[in-house]
Amino acid sequence: MTIESIIWLIPLPPLLAFFLIVLFTHRSKALSHAIAIGAALLSWFGSMYVFLEAMRIGGELGEHPFESVIPWLPAGDSWLEIGVRVDPLTAVTLFFVAWTVLMIFVYSVGYHNFGQPRGDHDRKGLPPHGATVRDDHGHKHVVPSVEPMYSRFFAFIGLFAFGMYTLVVSDNLLTLFVGWEIMGLCSYLLIGFWYGKISARAAMIKAFITTRIGDMFMLLGIAYLYTMVGSLRYADIFTSETLAMLASTPAVGGLFGLSAAGMIGILLFIGTVGKSAQFPLHTWLPDAMEGPTPVSAMIHAATMVSAGVYMVIRMFPLLTAGYDGHGPLTPTLMVMAFIGSFTALFAATIALAQNDIKRVLAYSTISQLGFMIAALGIGAYVAAAFHLITHAFFKALLFLGSGSVIHGMEHGVLHTGKHVDPQNMFNMGGLAKKMPITATTFIIGGAALAGVPFVTAGFWSKDEILADAFGHQHFAVFLVLAVSALMTAFYTMRQIVLTFFGKPRTEAASHAHETSWTMTLPLMVLAFFAITAGWAGIPDYFPLLGTWFPGFFSHFVGHTLPEPPGHVEFSFLPLLTSIIVSLGGLALGYVVYRNYQAGQEDPLKAALRGFHTVLQNKYYLDEIYDFLFVRPAYWLSETFTFRWMDRGVIDGILHGVSWVPSRIGSFLRMYPDRFINWTGDATSEGVKLFGRRFRVIQSGNLQQYMLAALVLTFGTLFVYLYSLLR
Amino acid sequence: MGENGMIPLSWYLILAAALFSIGLFGVLSRKNAVAILMGIELMLNAVNVNLVAFWRYRSPEIISGQAFAVIVLAVAAAEVAVGLALIISVYRRRSTVAADELNLLKW
């Protein structure tokens, strides 16, 4: 089997698993998860094989990627072609997607309480409420119960994996968009997985509609690109002639003096803003935490939202088209740098004041995605890709870890029977002793997110972004990102201290205990990558470490571009900044929350006062959007469209139109109809009367009939003869 | 006596009319279905007499009159067979063959 056919096959097993589960095996939980995990494993094998082959070839792959194309849809006089393409960027993306997807699948088995008894009152569409069991001594215990829609969940994440793989191996924007939309659908389905909860329903609709806004613009961008180039394949778009043509053609309408390339770039970037939850379309992502805790959250942190960043990294040559290497960046990149760094800071501040363990991570995801977008915006191609990958690993780890924590807390809640919010960090504390594996891996993930120097993956990728920003004299971006990184370290430490250190602050927390191996194993695997993934990208020029670990990443991924980006000069200032913000933020967080006791106010609240409330309410953006968009939309549909247009105008016209025939009808019913009725009735009555009178002559006696016939014959004969003779 | 010393045609016609009238009277007045059938036979034979008489006096050179009479005989035989079968069937069901009692076909 050639490598191209293996690439074709990578996305298919999860799709097959989806259909198998939905159509056949959904009644059997064990079979369903076996099929789903088996499919994920097959895709994983394919991805690893392709990744290793790509590694063997190395940077050469950039010029000669694995490619295979087939014609798909006839479009006028040309064909839309679909195909697969694996260049260095795809290879590393496949690597992290394969690992994280496989880990989610395994983790989901434990998260959905496979092997536990059925719940006492569990209903489909609601999270499991726990089951009562009796142990050997006759004591009653409440234990977690198995998810009622277990198989359905595995079907959905199977479809999700198909979407992600399709997006990654695609060699053109069209199939990328198909995968993109499939993931949008799965995201919708998984956020609303517990559709019995009103909040989950609202969140699913919010996520779908918000990302739809981005997708609409992205589709416009794709259409525009197709009009200009006549092809959507990367290989056709990223030729220097095409790019030059796009860069020199003014955009339709000459908007803001943009070139076609700039216009398309901005439209595509708006798609990313929606998908990767950048300001101002970020509000759906924190709400997406309504889904089953770690898994849909992990989709919304490690893989799916990465797709948005992956897409802009993929389109980087187009985004930079027209940039001569000097002077200001292209307008698209400037927009991206601005939005990315703003989002990074903005989301980090909100994360400071959140109490829900998952919401902190959700805002941290938005913030980290902002880092990537900002990195790309300043032209740091490799750094953005690098951060994409390290972030996928450690954010997957953190989310799965938080799921494990919540699971442990839920266990405590069920055990004690006292309801406390199992997601509120202020209800936790001291979990490190109860859940050692979760705690260790979570702290490793947190360290990576905060960027603990020299060891963790997060440090290397974040440092590279900062170094690039500094090296290319984008000091504003550098400053904003550095401050965001400081906050990141701070809220990470806050989270770790509140969750794992100190004493348990609720009874539930003191009864939490470690989750099953299906949940801890993925944590350990991801923790491994959260450390080591960074070593692949240590820059060559880095003192000491750079010579020990040759930085293959930038050589490898950099060759995806026709002209690999050059390195910035090594400078101690950004390195020092990275170290200071990371360690400083962590230390600050530790100092502030070290002595936090149950029932106390959040120390940050005292420090920030009113601003804390603003942060806790996410700058009231949800309320502002509600006021600006949701209510007008409701008003438009309820009052304007329904009451005025539909009820008033359209119904009014129709009622008017129907009034005339209705009047004619009632006139006809009053007068002519009576006459017709009377005639009809009289006819039938007459016939009836006649029949009743004359029926006596039908006596049934044959001889009488014959006599009558004789008389009539004679009578007729007589009349006839008489008339003849006369 | 008419020409050729033959009995005039009208005698036959009168005979046939008388025979027909007797048959008709029997059909109309007799109660017994068998008797009615017999009346019908008389009427048919009256017709036969007419047919043969007209053949002999008007067109003796062609055979159609005789053939017609033979057909009438055959039909009459068939009719008697069916008629008697019907009467027997009626008798089995209703234990009577009186025509005025067989008046089911009325309003």
Q: Check A707 against B99: CB less than 8 A apart.
A: no
3-state helix, strand, coil in chain B (%, to 5): 80, 0, 20
Q: Check A698 against B103: CB less than 8 A apart.
A: no
**pLDDT, tens digit (0-9, with 9 covering 90-100), for A191-239:** 888 888 888 898 889 889 888 989 999 999 999 888 888 888 888 888 8
Given B28, B106, B107, which is nearest A703 (Cβ)? B28
Q: Radius of gyration over alpha carbons of chain A, in Å? A: 36
Tokens of A132: 């009562």
**pLDDT, tens digit (0-9, with 9 covering 90-100), for A641-686:** 888 888 889 999 999 999 999 998 888 888 877 888 888 899 999 9
Q: What residues contact B29, with CB distance under 8 A and at least 6 apart? A: A703
Work out the pLDDT band at A457, boundaries 50, 70, 90: confident
- What is residue A138's predicted lDDT score, i.e. its pLDDT? 74
Q: Check B99 against A701: CB less than 8 A apart.
A: yes
Report residue A69: phi and psi, to 5°: -130, 140
Distance from CA of B24 to the nearest CA of A (A): 9
Q: Identify the three-state secondary structure at position A20.
A: helix
Distances (CA, A) of B33 to B21, B95, B104: 18, 12, 15
Q: Are A84 and A171 in contact (CB under 8 A)?
A: yes
Tokens of A256: 């803001």
Distance from CA of B106 to the nearest CA of A (A): 4
**Chains A and B: how many Cβ contacts under 8 Å?**
29
Bridge partner list, A84: A68, A170
Nearest CA in chain A to B29: A703
Within a 13 Å sphere around the CA of B45, how many CA atoms are in the beta-carbon half? 13
Work out the pLDDT band at A324, boundaries 50, 70, 90: low
Q: Identify the three-state secondary structure at position A279.
A: coil
Tokens of A623: 């309320």
Q: Are A565 and A379 in contact (CB under 8 A)?
A: yes
Does residue A337 have a pLDDT over 50?
yes
Given B29, B99, B107, which is nearest A698 (Cβ)? B107
Q: Check B104 against A695: CB less than 8 A apart.
A: no
**pLDDT, tens digit (0-9, with 9 covering 90-100), for A119-152:** 777 888 888 877 888 777 777 777 788 888 888 8
- What is residue A564's predicted lDDT score, i.e. its pLDDT? 66
Sign of the alpha-carbon dihedral angle for A185, A186, A191, A197: positive
- When pLDDT is averaged across residues A335-339 and rounded to a whole number, the result is 89
Q: Name every chain A residue with its beta carbon within 8 A of the beta carbon of B37.
A: none
Q: Are A194 and A53 in contact (CB under 8 A)?
A: no
Q: What residues contact A14, with CB distance under 8 A and at least 6 apart? A: A36, A39, A40, A43, A101, A158, A159, A160, A161, A162, A165
A281-304 burial code (b ≥16 CB/10 A, e <16): bbbbbbbbbbbbbbbbbbbbbbbb
DSSP A536: G
Q: Name every chain A residue with its beta carbon within 8 A of the beta carbon of B106.
A: 698-701
**Global pTM exceeds 0.80:** no
Distance from CA of B82 to the nearest CA of A (A): 17
- The answer to whether B72 faces chain A, any CB pair under 8 Å, is no
- What is residue A45's predicted lDDT score, i.e. its pLDDT? 92
Q: Name every chain A residue with its beta carbon within 8 A of the beta carbon of B39.
A: none
Q: Identify the three-state secondary structure at position A138.
A: coil
For residues A524, A528, A529 and A533, what is the CA-based torsion angle, rounded to 10 degrees? 170
- When pLDDT is averaged across residues A461-480 and rounded to a whole number, the result is 85
Angle CA(A104)–CA(A110)–CA(A113) in degrees, nearest 5? 135
Nearest CA in chain A to B103: A700
Q: Are A46 and A10 in contact (CB under 8 A)?
A: yes
Q: Are A685 and B83 in contact (CB under 8 A)?
A: no
Give the separation between CA A634 and CA A616, rounded to whole angstroms. Answer: 27
Q: Residue A79: is it exposed, middle or buried by C-beta count within 10 angstroms (0-12/13-18/19+)?
A: middle
Written as one string, the DSSP assignment of A663-698 is HHHHHHHHTHHHHHHHHHHHHHHHHHHHHHHHGGG-
Q: Are A390 and A533 in contact (CB under 8 A)?
A: yes
Q: Radius of gyration over alpha carbons of chain B, in Å? A: 18
**pLDDT, tens digit (0-9, with 9 covering 90-100), for A593-617:** 887 777 777 777 777 777 878 877 8
Q: Name every chain B residue with its beta carbon within 8 A of the beta carbon of A698.
A: 105-107
Q: Residue A590: is it exposed, middle or buried by C-beta count within 10 angstroms (0-12/13-18/19+)?
A: middle
Tokens of A528: 């491994």
Tokens of B29: 């007045």
Give the separation between CA A470 and CA A551, rounded to whole angstroms. Answer: 20
Tokens of A559: 């060759």
Distance from CA of B38 to the nearest CA of A (A): 14
Give the separation between CA A657 and CA B98, rounded to whole angstroms. Answer: 74
Given A701, A706, A707, which is nearest B103 (Cβ)? A701
Q: How many CB atoms lie within 10 A of CB A694?
A: 10
Q: Check A710 against B103: CB less than 8 A apart.
A: no
Tokens of A292: 């089953």
- What is residue B1's predicted lDDT score, i.e. its pLDDT? 44
Given A695, A696, A700, which is nearest B105 (Cβ)? A700
Q: Are A287 and A298 in contact (CB under 8 A)?
A: no
Q: Check A702 against B28: CB less than 8 A apart.
A: no
Tokens of A195: 């559709």
E strand or H helix at A347 = helix A331-352
Tokens of A169: 């191996």
Written as one string, the DSSP assignment of A209-269 is HHHHHHHHHHHHHHHHHHHHHS--BHHHHTSHHHHHHHHHSBPGGGGGG-BHHHHHHHHHH
- When pLDDT is averaged across residues B2-11 and rounded to a whole number, the result is 76
Q: Are A284 and A211 in contact (CB under 8 A)?
A: yes
Q: Name every chain B residue with its beta carbon within 8 A of the beta carbon of A701.
A: 99-100, 103, 106
Tokens of A333: 């990149």
Cis peptide before A280 (omega within 30 of 0): yes
- The answer to whether B3 faces chain A, any CB pair under 8 Å, is no
Distances (CA, A) of A450 to A115, A239, A491: 36, 39, 9
Q: Are A262 and A363 in contact (CB under 8 A)?
A: no
Least confident of A245-254, A264-273, A404-413, A674-683: A245-254
Give the separation between CA A254 and CA A185, rounded to whole angstroms. Answer: 35
Report residue A2: phi and psi, to 5°: -75, 160
**pLDDT, tens digit (0-9, with 9 covering 90-100), for A71-96:** 877 777 777 778 888 888 888 899 98
Distance from CA of B29 to the nearest CA of A (A): 7
Give the separation between CA A54 and CA A514, rounded to whole angstroms. Answer: 39
- What is residue A686's predicted lDDT score, i.e. its pLDDT? 93
Does residue A15 have a pLDDT over 90?
yes
**pLDDT, tens digit (0-9, with 9 covering 90-100), for A543-578:** 666 666 666 777 777 777 776 666 667 778 888 888
Instruction: Give the strand pairing for A78-86 and A131-134.
Output: unpaired
Give the separation between CA A702 and CA A447, rounded to whole angstroms. Answer: 118
Residue of A481, A454, A456 whose CA lies nearest to A467: A481
Distance from CA of A698 to the nearest CA of B (A): 5
Angle CA(B51)–CA(B52)–CA(B54) in degrees, nearest 5? 65
Q: Residue A656: is it exposed, middle or buried by C-beta count within 10 angstroms (0-12/13-18/19+)?
A: exposed
Q: 11-50 in B: which are within 8 Å (CB) of A?
A: 24, 27-29, 36
Distance from CA of B85 to the nearest CA of A (A): 18
Q: pLDDT higher for A401 or A231? A: A401
Distances (CA, A) of A345 to A178, A350, A594, B15: 32, 9, 25, 136
Q: Are A371 and A387 in contact (CB under 8 A)?
A: yes
Nearest CA in chain B to A706: B28
- When pLDDT is averaged across residues A457-480 and rounded to a whole number, the result is 85
Tokens of A545: 């470490």
Q: What residues contact B18, with CB distance under 8 A and at least 6 apart? A: none
Give the separation between CA A407 and CA A396, rounded to whole angstroms. Answer: 16
Residue with tokens 């760094």, as numbered in its chain? A341
Distance from the first to the final alpha carbon of chain A: 117
Mean of per-residue pLDDT scores for chain A:
85
Q: What residues contact A638, with CB distance under 8 A and at least 6 apart? A: none
Tokens of A464: 């590279």
As a whole-number percent, the residues of chain A with pLDDT over 70 amount to 96
Q: Check B28 against A706: CB less than 8 A apart.
A: yes
Does residue B56 have a pLDDT over 50?
yes
Work out the pLDDT band at A41, boundaries 50, 70, 90: very high
Within a 13 Å sphere around the CA of A605, how many CA atoms are in the beta-carbon half? 9
ipTM: 0.81
Work out the pLDDT band at A702, boundaries 50, 70, 90: confident
Q: What residues contact A117, with CB distance under 8 A and at least 6 apart? A: A131, A133, A143, A145, A146
Q: Name every chain A residue with its beta carbon within 8 A of the beta carbon of B99.
A: 701-703
- The answer to whether A710 faces chain B, any CB pair under 8 Å, is yes
One-letter amino acid of B6: M
- The answer to whether A712 faces chain B, any CB pair under 8 Å, is no
If phi > 0 it is left, if psi is from -120 to 50 it is alpha, else beta; for residue A700 that is left
